[in-house]
Amino acid sequence: WDKYHVRAVIGLFQFFIGLLLIFILLLIAGILGAVGEKKSQVWVKESLAKLLPLSDQKSEVQTDLQKLEVEAKCCGLINGPSDWGSTVPSSCDCVDTAQACQSANGRQVYSTPCVKFVTSFMEKNAIIALGIAFGIAVLMLFGMAFAMTLYCQIGKRDANTA
């Protein structure tokens, strides 16, 4: 065995171990994500509740929330229009009559809070993330199988020549 041969064998084994460790971490993250799905929804609600009342937030935060309201056709974060206090912004105006609306200060505004949009967005994208993670895991398994096959073949070849 020359030094290059030994390095190649050690490198293959290190590659296998590295892939195995990443695979285990990916598996743990997937299990925690599947088990903790409800916990993440509770965490999102708690985090958004810290922003209430919305009228007390910085203007940049209010602008971003209003953009979300227009895009998601919702109003408020947790409780609906009442999250804004006495002045409900125009971003809450109910322009899509197919959505649930209510009266606030003589105007029709969306009654659905934006937390429903945020949690459903997370649920939809969690499925996509799970699919990507599954694909990566399959590629990692192939990589581990090929690395171990090469490692074993080098060992057999060297045993036959000795």
Residues 93-137 have pLDDT tens digits of 888 777 788 887 778 888 888 888 888 888 888 778 888 888 888
Is a pLDDT exceeding 90 seen at residue 142? yes
Cβ(82)–Cβ(52) below 8 Å: no
Round to whole Å and give the CA distance between 159 and 96: 75
Helices 114-161 + 3-35 axis angle, to 10: 150
Residues 32-65 have pLDDT tens digits of 777 777 777 787 788 878 877 777 778 888 888 8
Q: Which residue has the tokens 């998601």?
A: 72
Token couple for 143: 């990589």
pLDDT-derived band of residue 141, with 50, 70 and 90 as boundaries? very high
> Which is nearest to 64 in space by CA: 120, 72, 32?
72
Round to whole Å and give the CA distance between 87 and 74: 16
